[in-house]
Amino acid sequence: MYPFDYHRAGNVADTLTLRASLADARFLAGGMSLLPMMKLRFASTPNIIDLRDCEELRGIEASYEVVRIGAMTRHVDVAASADVQAAIPALAKLAAGIGDPMVRARGTMGGSIANFDPAACYPAACLALGATIQTTGGDIEADEFFIGVFETALKDGELVTGAEFPIPDAAAYAKFRHPASRFALVGVFVARFGELVRVAVTGASRSGAFRWAAAEDALTESFSIRSLEGLKMDHSEMNGDIHGDNEYRAHLVEVMTRRAVLETLESAPAA
Amino acid sequence: MKKFGVGQSVERAEDARLLLGEGRYTDDIVPANALRLFVLRSPHAHAKILSIDKTASLESKGVAGILTGVDADEDDLGGFPSLVPSNAPDGSGPNFAPPFSVIARDIVRYAGEPVAIVMADTLDQAKDAAELIKVEYAPLTAVVSLADADKPGMPSIWPECPDNNDSLGVFGDKAAVEEAFSKAASIHSIDVRVSRVAVSPMEPRVATGVWNEAEGRYELTAGVQSPHMTRTQLAACIFKVPPSKVRVRALDVGGGFGLKGVPHPELALVMWAARRLGRPVHWFSERSEGFLSDCHSRDHISHCDLALDEDARIVGLKFNSRANLGAYISLAGMHCAQGNIGHLSGVYTTPAIYAEVRAYFTNTVPIASYRGAGRPEALVVLERAMDAAAFDLGMDPAELRRRNLIQPEQMPYDTGFQFTYDSGDYPVSQTKAQEAADWAGFEKRRAEALRRGKLRGIGMGHVVEIASGMRDEMGEIEIEADGSVTFSTGFHNHGQGQETTMRQLISEFLAVPPEKIRMKDCDTDVQNFGLGSAGSRAAAVGGALIKTLSEKVIEKAKIIAAIPLETDAAQIEFVDGTFNARGTNKTATFAEVAALAHNPMGLPDGFDGGLAHKQIVRPGGPTFPNGCHICEVEIDPETGELDAIGYWVCEDVGRSINPMIVKGQIHGGVAQGLGQIFGEFIEFDREGQLLTGSFMDYQMPRALDIPHITTISHDVPSPNNPLGIKGAGESGTVGAMPAGLNAVCDALKPLGIRHFDMPASPHRLWKAIHDAGGIDAICKPTEAA
Ligand SMILES: Cc1cc2nc3c(=O)[nH]c(=O)nc-3n(C[C@H](O)[C@H](O)[C@H](O)COP(=O)(O)OP(=O)(O)OC[C@H]3O[C@@H](n4cnc5c(N)ncnc54)[C@H](O)[C@@H]3O)c2cc1C
């Protein structure tokens, strides 16, 4: 690790003032993505601003229509939340399947979406549920927020404060775990709002999580696995490495989509 | 029965200390004034070093010194030798054996090879300085693939070995095999790739070097399995000083698995730097550094032909393999390539065997031992050949094995190849394992799985492996004046539970309670000889050692007891910790005798006081632990995901000192064997850069990937040592590799797949299933919705 100065402030307003006073700095949430990179000297920063004292960034609120999750809410808290389990069980399950108990006890939702790892789980949920990402600069729709691998619409010094997830009629997240890292080799989040279906895929693409428009159209037309028959994921957009070439990843997208649809049907049969 | 003696599953004496953070690992006891050493490693797999400029880095904060190959030449620093000789491929003489260099001179030969070492007050300072070292390289084409190492046009890694083929080992009787093959009813061939893996012990490699100016000698505290063997190499080959000028000790060590039995460059580097700089020097490997620079293991490409008669009895076996050495030959590199080829006999009566093993240099980190060290490399191929033959003949592989098993009444059995097996009842082991696994009911389970759209397979692997091949070991039992016992030995405990089993043995023979037994550190200053813990030897050799030492101590104690009991030593018997004078009611306790031994005033003039004994013991021949392993798996053909359903093993470790510890050894061994079959795999790119350099890419098995392991014992004592112990360290791994791989191949069998190479990672499985036409080729699963 390269040396850095460590800072923290007691609330969001003071954190932003602190940030503005420093030429170059990075926020620290759970540290599960940032710290390993710093330890390997792949990432460095002169200043770390720890968000741990920003109590207002923590917490979960559910209304009839949305679940709001504060940026500093840890994966373990989302997984264990009765509100999330009741409103969007697929989201609780997604959080419960991230990493291992140590990672879930420190990693945060805000950190996950700000980081936008191409194999991270939360971005798929944000895209499929049509979440609104709340930042200190305003609200950003998930479709506009995620730009490319490790690249989001966040501006320098802008903080994610939380995300609002619309509550679907039914949803499911099917994740095929990377055999070594246990991130998503391919993860597919399917959400149904009345007739409308949204499908988001993570892990598979060279450019991060994305919505699979053809599957959305087919499933909006008729929500059944029959609708997916013959639907092919384009190989050329897929990532390929020693754990799976692009053909395999494209195939897994099709399989995981089918499984997510089946699970969605099981959780709430289509009207 | 004694509460703490041999045969009891007593709790491990070392666990409380280790679990409560009270262990003494090398990194826990770094001297306060120690410098931290950082190794600047080659980014290239093969390159010329044109220049190294350390001017800027020497100015960097906290730096105490920077050393390179130039300095090493100045000090005539040597390399670690290969311990196992072989022959040149053309038979002209011994093979060329370049020592395992500790720091590069003018050429780097693998990515990760030490190029410079930086010593600074803190590790971060050392890393900062290393970034300022300017090394100019002229990259050379790298030889990365074992399969292509001797292809025309490949560069030579060593001019002495132009086609990179370093050696050819020829074993067995070629004419007899040709004769057998000419008469065979059927011949079954198979190619098996034994993948390359990273040992990855829980505690990374670690070393602290001290230069003892007063005594003019080097001192090393390190995570090694055998301080004495390490000392021998460091003294003779690196520093070229007498062994008495080097002290090596190993305190707590978090797993060795063979890796830490092989000396690595950093052991020499910390000691060298300590002498140069006059301060202790400490190095602790980071995990990613370990992936690059720990010797890797296995990495063979093998071909086997098995000849059977019309009753499916083996009449001959031919074996031909390529073994990777890496860029240098490590201490155990050639041993892993050729030293354990005797395992091709397996548990079967095979009248004729012929094997050729070619070993190659590649631009990769050297190969060294890993749990099994050549045993699984041979046995996994033999056991795959058995299954392939059964596949060809449409026979139950269990039946094919049963027909060929060596029978218990044939023991001791001379295989006619390399080994003479001591004892064992292979047919009973197979029966017990098959019953436990419900082998007979498997086809029903396969059919049921197929109805769920899953491919289910079962696989068997017989293991028989040499243990305690290195027979000598030294130990000392000293009795204190209070009757307590201290014990020292060259064995080193790095997780096996030897502090417990050695105590059990002492308690058995001296009738001393465990709390009165102290183990001394494994330290060349405590004892001057030892071979260490490796090759599944500590129980069998240690049992003979402790029995002998105890008998010698009791012999002398009887002479001492005879003084107060007023008789002569021949009339004294030692029963349950008490010395009795035969025919009288006079007794002396062990503690009383110990006290008298240390009270010169109470002893007759001229009597040699004290009560201790030290010697080297060599028990009879090696032992052959064995067992029948069965593994059952289920594969999801849609994704290639593998689910390990169950695992059963009937093992024969001879007499066991602590059955609980034996089970633990089997469990751990099985997990490591299955890990390699299910997904562990080291991969380089074409330039020789490591692609699997962290646990984010290297598929280390998790607890949940390993099925429940049922262990059944059918122990047949060994006649080769006084306690009948065989050993338990490696057989789990050696048996699990073939059992696991055979299960995977059996699952794929309905698709017409005859062989599938490890690792059975999801992508590779899916591809194999997909290429064979998918599961639809054999059935249409009933869709759930
Ligand atoms: C072993 C392991 C396994 C994992 N497995 C998975 C998995 O299966 N699925 C998965 O989705 N993830 C996985 N992760 C990643 C994990 O979820 C991380 O916790 C998460 O991606 C980052 O969250 P964090 O709170 O740790 O962020 P940090 O590491 O603290 O920060 C990450 C980045 O986001 C920035 N940041 C953090 N919070 C904010 C904020 N509120 N506003 C603006 N920027 C911010 C930081 O500056 C930094 O650049 C795994 C991680 C590990 C170590």
Full set of structural domains in chain A with CATH:
1-49 (3.30.43.10), 170-267 (3.30.390.50)
Count CB neighbours of B631 within 10 A. Answer: 33
Residues B682 and B756 in one domain: yes
Express each pLDDT in B493-505 by its tens digit.
Answer: 999 999 999 999 9
The DSSP letter of residue B621 is S
The answer to whether position B556 is within a domain reads: yes
Whether residue B588 is found in the same domain as residue B674: no
Give a yes or no: residue B370 inside a domain: no
State whether B763 and A265 contact (CB < 8 Å): no
Asked if residue B640 and residue B732 are part of one domain, the reply reads yes
Q: What is the pLDDT of residue A7?
A: 98
- Spatial contact of B374 and B330, defined as CB atoms under 8 Å apart: no
Exposure on the CB side of residue B638, measured as CA atoms within 13 A: 16
Q: Which of B158, B59, B55, B173 is nearest to B110 (CA)?
A: B158
Partner-chain contact A225 B785, CB within 8 Å: yes
Is residue B96 within 8 A of residue B277, CB to CB? The reply is no
Cα distance between residue B86 and residue B476, in whole Å:
36
Radius of gyration of chain B (CA): 28
Beta carbons within 10 angstroms of residue B554's beta carbon: 21
Counting ligand 1 atoms within 8 A of each CB, the residue from A108, A134, A136, A175 with the most, and so the one to mutate, is A108
Task: For residue B683, give the chain A residue with the closest CA.
Answer: A242
* Per-residue model confidence (pLDDT) at position B231: 98
Phi, psi of A115 (to 5 degrees): -75, -40
Distances (CA, A) of A228 to A128, A173, B8, B157: 17, 17, 61, 54
Q: What residues of chain A lie within 8 A of the CB of B698, using their CB? A: 180
> Would you call B288 an interface residue with chain A, using a CB distance cutoff of 8 Å?
yes
Q: Kindly give the number of the ligand 1 atom that is closest to the alpha carbon of A107.
A: 19
pLDDT tens digit string along A53-86? Answer: 999 999 999 999 999 999 999 999 999 999 999 9
CA of A147 to the centre of ligand 1 (A): 17
Q: Which atom of ligand 1 is nearest to the CA of A72?
A: 41
Most A CBs within 10 A among B131, B284, B638, B641, hence the mutation to make, goes to: B638
User: Beta partners for B635?
Assistant: B455, B642
Angular region, B428: left φ>0, alpha ψ -120 to 50, beta rest: alpha
B373, B367 Cβ separation under 8 angstroms: no
Does B441 share its domain with B577? Answer: no
Q: What is the CATH number of the domain that holds B77?
A: 3.90.1170.50
Same domain flag for B450 and B543 = no
Which DSSP letter does residue B34 get?
A: P
Report residues of chain B scoring pLDDT below 70.
1-2, 779-785
Point out the domain boundary residue: B244, B262, B285: B285
B51 within domain boundaries: yes
Chain A neighbors of B700, CB-CB under 8 A: 180
Task: Judge if B108 and B95 occupy the same domain.
Answer: yes
Question: To the nearest whole angstrom, how far is the Cα of A228 from the nearest Cα of chain B?
Answer: 13
Q: How far is CA B312 from the centre of its chain?
A: 34
* A110 Cβ inside 6 Å of ligand 1: yes
Residues of B in contact with A251 (CB under 8 A): 766, 770
User: Is B695 at the interface with chain A, CB within 8 A?
Assistant: yes
Q: Which residue has the tokens 């049907």?
A: A265
Determine the longest span between alpha carbons in chain B, in angstroms.
Answer: 96
A201 Cα: distance to centroid of ligand 1 (angstroms): 18
Cross-chain CB nearest to A248 (options B288, B696, B766): B766
Which pLDDT value is given to residue B785? 40
Is the CB of A180 less than 8 angstroms away from the CB of B700? Answer: yes
Give DSSP secondary structure letters for A9-48. Answer: -SSHHHHHHHHHH-SS-EEESS-TTHHHHHHTTSS--SEE
Q: How many Å lie between the alpha carbon of B199 and the closest alpha carbon of chain A?
A: 16
Q: In angstroms, what separates the C-alpha of B55 from chain A's closest C-alpha?
A: 21
Cβ within 8 Å of A, B 749-768:
761-763, 766-767
Q: State how far the Cα of A172 lies from the Cα of A180, in Å rounded to an integer.
A: 24
The answer to whether the CB atoms of A252 and B639 lie below 8 A apart is: yes
How long, in residues, is chain A? 271
Residues of B in contact with A3 (CB under 8 A): 124
Cis preceding-peptide flag for B412 (omega within 30 of 0): yes
Specify whether B591 is located in the same domain as B669. Answer: no
Domain that holds residue B492: 15-21+469-617
- Alpha helices in B282-338, H assignment, sequence order: 287-293, 333-334
Are B451 and B477 part of one and the same domain?
A: no
Question: Do residues B547 and B682 both lie within one domain?
Answer: no
Tell me how crowded residue B183 is: count the other CB atoms within 10 A of its CB.
10
What HEC string does B663-682 produce?
HHHHHHHHHHHHHHHHCCCC
The ipTM value here is: 0.96
Q: For residue B281, what is the DSSP state?
A: E
State the pLDDT at residue A269.
58
Please count the structural domains in chain B. 3
Alpha helix stretches (DSSP H) within B174-253:
174-183, 227-233
Q: What is the DSSP string of A198-263?
A: EEEEESSBTTS-EE-HHHHHHHHH--SGGGGTT----GGGB--BTTB-HHHHHHHHHHHHHHHHHH
pTM to 2 decimals? 0.96
Judgement on whether residues B510 and B608 belong to the same structural domain of the protein: yes
For residue B638, which residues of chain A lie inside 8 Å, CB to CB?
255
Contact A180 B784 (CB under 8 A): no
Interface mutation target, options A225, A239, A251, A256, chain B, most CBs of B under 10 Å: A251
Closest chain A C-alpha to B675 CA, distance in angstroms: 12
CB contact under 8 A, A176 and B766: no
Angle between helices A246-267 and B762-771 (to 10 degrees): 100
| Residue B247 in domain | yes
Going by their DSSP bridges, the two strands A60-62 and A66-70 should be labelled as antiparallel
pLDDT score, position B620: 87
* Pocket test residue of A32, A156, A186 for ligand 1, highest count of atoms within 8 A of CB: A32
| Interface contact flag, A3 B288, Cβ < 8 Å | no
* Distance, CA of B38 to CA of B128 (rounded, Å): 10
Residues facing A76 on adjacent strands = none
Residue B769 to residues B651, B708, B761, B762, B776, Cα–Cα distance (Å): 34, 26, 12, 10, 10
**Which one of B617, B644, B670 terminates a domain?**
B617
How far is the C-alpha of B340 from the C-alpha of B343, rounded, in Å?
Answer: 6
Both B526 and B658 in one domain: the answer is: no
- Assess whether the C-beta atom of A32 lies below 6 angstroms from ligand 1: yes
B342 Cα distance to chain centroid: 17
Q: What is the pLDDT of residues A6-30, one digit of tens each?
A: 999 999 999 999 999 999 999 999 9
- Does the residue B574 lie in any domain? yes
Contact A2 B124 (CB under 8 A): yes
Q: Are the beta carbons of B691 and A242 separated by less than 8 Å? A: yes
Cβ contacts of B697 on chain A, cutoff 8 Å: 180-181, 242-243
Q: Of B617, B646, B662, at which residue does a domain stop? A: B617
In a domain, B191, yes or no: no
In angstroms, the CA A209 to CA A186 distance is 10
B216 found inside a domain: yes
Is A160 close to ligand 1, i.e. is its CB under 6 Å away? yes
Whose alpha carbon is nearest atom 3 of ligand 1?
Answer: A99
- Condensed to tens digits (0 to 9), the pLDDT of residues A89-118 reads 999 999 999 999 999 999 999 999 999 999
Best of A1, A178, A243 to disrupt the B interface (most B CBs within 10 Å) is A243
- Pairing type for strands A184-193 and A146-148 reads unpaired
Cis peptide before B43 (omega within 30 of 0): no
Indicate if ligand 1 lies below 6 Å from the C-beta of A103. Answer: yes
Contact B114, B272 (CB under 8 A): no
What number of CA atoms fall less than 13 Å from residue B42's CA on the CB side?
Answer: 35
Residues B129 and B238 placed together within one structural domain of the fold: yes
Which atom of ligand 1 lies nearest, measured to the CA of A28?
A: 30
pLDDT at position B783 is: 46
Does residue B272 belong to any structural domain of this protein?
A: yes
CATH number at residue B659: 3.30.365.10
Q: Is the CB of A203 under 6 A from ligand 1?
A: no
Q: How many CA atoms lie within 13 A of A198 on its CB side?
A: 21
In chain B, the residue whose alpha carbon lies closest to the alpha carbon of A3 is B124
Q: For B698, which of A2, A180, A245 is closest by C-beta distance?
A: A180
The pick from A115, A122, A152, A181 for probing ligand 1's pocket by mutation, whose C-beta has the most ligand atoms within 8 angstroms, reads: A115
CB contact under 8 A, B696 and A180: yes
**CB-CB contact of B103 with B269 (8 Å):** yes
Tokens of B580: 């009795």
